[in-house]
Amino acid sequence: MRDDDTDYRGDGGTAEERIFGTGEQRKATRTPIREKANRTFDVYVRSPLRIAWEDWRTRIGGLLLLFYILLGTFGVYFIPEPTLNEGPTYAGAFQSLDYPLGTDNLGRGIAEKIVHATPAMLKMALAGALTTTGAGTFFGFVSGYRGGITDRVLMTITDVQAVLPGLPLIVMLAAVFTPSNPFVVGVVLAIDTWPPLARSLRSQVLTLRESDFVEAGRSLGLSSWTIIRQDLIAKLAPYILVNAAGAATRVIKASVALYFLGILPFSILNWGVMMNRAYKTGNAISAPGHAGHWLFFPALALSGLLFSLVLFSQGLDRVFNPRLRARHAESAPDEDAAPQGEVR
C-alpha cells in the first residue's frame, strides 16, 4: 500500500479509487510466501514454544505428554502385544524383565497391556477435546456475538445441558448405544464438558464485542462471520486451547470410570477395563498382594497422563495470560506489561 501513495494525487478526484482500489499494485509488494510462513511460524509456533519451555509446568507436562504420545504411536510397534502365558499367572511386579510390572490371571504382561491401551486413551481424549471445543466455541461465540433471540435459544440449550447431570446421562446413553469405537466414546463423553466452555466463552465475547477493533471491523462492513473468525477466535484461541486440554482430562477420567464400572463394552484394551478385571476377577481390593499390581499400575498410568495434561494446561494458561505474564515479567518478558507495584 505504501508504494501506491505516489500514484494518487490527493485532490479529491481519485481518492475514492485509492481507498477502494482493486489492489493491483499491492500484488507487486506482497511479502514472499517463505518469509510470511517464517514470520507466522515464529509468531505462532516458535515464540509460544519458547515461552512454554521457560515455565516448568509446560516443560514437564509437555515432555510427559510427548512420552505418552510416542508410547501410543511408536511404542505399540516396538513393544510386543500381550500374549497368553507369557509368564506365570499373578506374578508380582519387578520380578522379571520379560514382564516388568507382573502378569494378570492369564499370564499376560501388565506393562504391555498398559502400553497397548494408550492409543485408545489418546483417541478418546482427542475426540472429546475436539467435540467440546467445537460445540463450546460455536455456542459461545454465536450467542455472545449475535445476542437477542439467538442468544436466548442457544443459552437455554446450554443451560439445559449444563443442568442435566452428566454422568447419569452418559451412563444411560452408553447403556443404550454401547459405543465401542474410542472416537465415538470420546464424542459421547463430551456431552458433559462443552456447556461450561460455551458459558465462559460467551461472557468473554460479550466484553470483546464492545472493544475498538471489533467496532472498527463492524463499521467497515465486515460480516459477523469474518469478525468472529478473524478477530474473536484469534483473540480467544489461547483460552480455547487451555480449555481443550481440560476437556481431554475430563473425558479420560469419565471414560476410564465407565470402563471400570463395566458400563461401556469391553471391546478395546483400556486402563479402566484392566482395573475392572483386577477388581472383579483378581479381588485386587481385598487382596492387594495378590492382584494389586494389576489394579494400581493402570491407575498410575492414568494419573500420569492426567497429570501431564493438567500441568500442561495450567502452564499454557500462564503462558497466555497477559496479566499473569506481566507479573512474572522476569520469566517471560512481555513489552505490554503494565507496571504493577510490588505487593509484599
Partner 1 sequence: MGYYSQRISQAAITLVAGAFVTFSVYRLMPGGPLEAIRRQLVRQMVRRTGSVDRELIAQRTQMLTGINPDTPIPIAFYEYTRDIVLYQDFGQSIAYNQPVFDVLFQAMPWSIFLSSYGLIIGYTATIVIGAVMAWYEGSKVDFGLTGFVLTMNSIPYYVVAIVMLVVLGFQYHIFPTGGRYAGHVVPGFNVPFMISVARHAAMPIISTAVVGFAAGSLQLRGNAIRVIGSDFIRSAEIRGIGTNRILTRYLTRNAILPTYTSMMVGISTLFSSSVIVERIFQYVGVGWYMFEALQLQDYPLMMGSFLFFATITTLAILFADLTYGLIDPRAGTGASRENF
Question: Please, what is the minimum distance in Å from the beta carbon of residue 256 to partner 1?
Answer: 7
Question: Please, what is the minimum distance in Å from the beta carbon of residue 318 to partner 1?
Answer: 9
Burial of 326 (0-12, 13-18, 19+ CB in 10 A): middle
Task: Tell which one of 35, 165, 220, 335 touches partner 1 (CB under 8 A).
Answer: 165
Helices (H) and strands (E) counted in the chain, each on its own, are 17, 0
**CB closer to partner 1, 86 vs 139:** 139
Question: Please, what is the minimum distance in Å from the beta carbon of residue 47 to partner 1?
Answer: 22
Task: Tell which one of 43, 70, 167, 237 touches partner 1 (CB under 8 A).
Answer: 167
Could you say whether residue 173 binds partner 1 (CB under 8 A)?
yes
Could you say whether residue 297 binds partner 1 (CB under 8 A)?
no
Stretch of residues binding partner 1 (CB under 8 A), selected from 14-22, 122-130, 158-166, 227-235: 158-166
Asked if residue 269 lies in contact with residue 117, where contact means CB atoms within 8 angstroms, the answer is: yes
**CB closer to partner 1, 33 vs 176:** 176
Neighbours of 32 (CB within 10 A): 8
Residues 6+ apart with CB under 8 A from 322: 334, 336, 337
**CB closer to partner 1, 33 vs 338:** 338
Task: Tell which one of 106, 263, 332, 337 touches partner 1 (CB under 8 A).
Answer: 263
Cell of 4: 501506491
**CB closer to partner 1, 86 vs 199:** 199
Hunting for cell 442457544 — which residue is that? 154
CA distances from 138 to 82, 131, 190 (A): 42, 11, 14
Task: Tell which one of 162, 222, 233, 337 touches partner 1 (CB under 8 A).
Answer: 162
DSSP string, 18-57: HHT---HHHHHHPPPHHHHHHHHHIIIIIHHHHHHHHSHH
Could you say whether residue 280 binds partner 1 (CB under 8 A)?
no
Stretch of residues binding partner 1 (CB under 8 A), selected from 41-49, 130-138, 226-234, 277-285: 277-285
Task: Tell which one of 228, 268, 309, 316 touches partner 1 (CB under 8 A).
Answer: 309
Could you say whether residue 219 binds partner 1 (CB under 8 A)?
no
Q: What torsion, rounded to 10 degrees, do the Cα atoms 111, 114, 115, 118 define?
A: -170
Question: Please, what is the minimum distance in Å from the beta carbon of residue 38 to partner 1?
Answer: 34
**CB closer to partner 1, 201 vs 268:** 201
Short-list 313, 279, 316, 314, CA closest to 294: 279
Could you say whether residue 120 binds partner 1 (CB under 8 A)?
no
CB burial readout 290-310, b (16+ within 10 A) else e: ebbbbbbbbbebbeebbebbb
Short-list 79, 150, 285, CA closest to 277: 285
Question: Please, what is the minimum distance in Å from the beta carbon of residue 141 to partner 1?
Answer: 15
3-class secondary-structure state, position 103: strand
Binding site for partner 1 (CB under 8 A): 57, 156, 159-160, 162-169, 171-173, 175-176, 192, 195-196, 199-200, 202-203, 206, 249, 253, 256-257, 260-261, 263, 275, 279, 284-286, 288, 292, 295-296, 299, 302-303, 306-307, 309-311, 314, 321, 323-324, 327, 340-341, 343
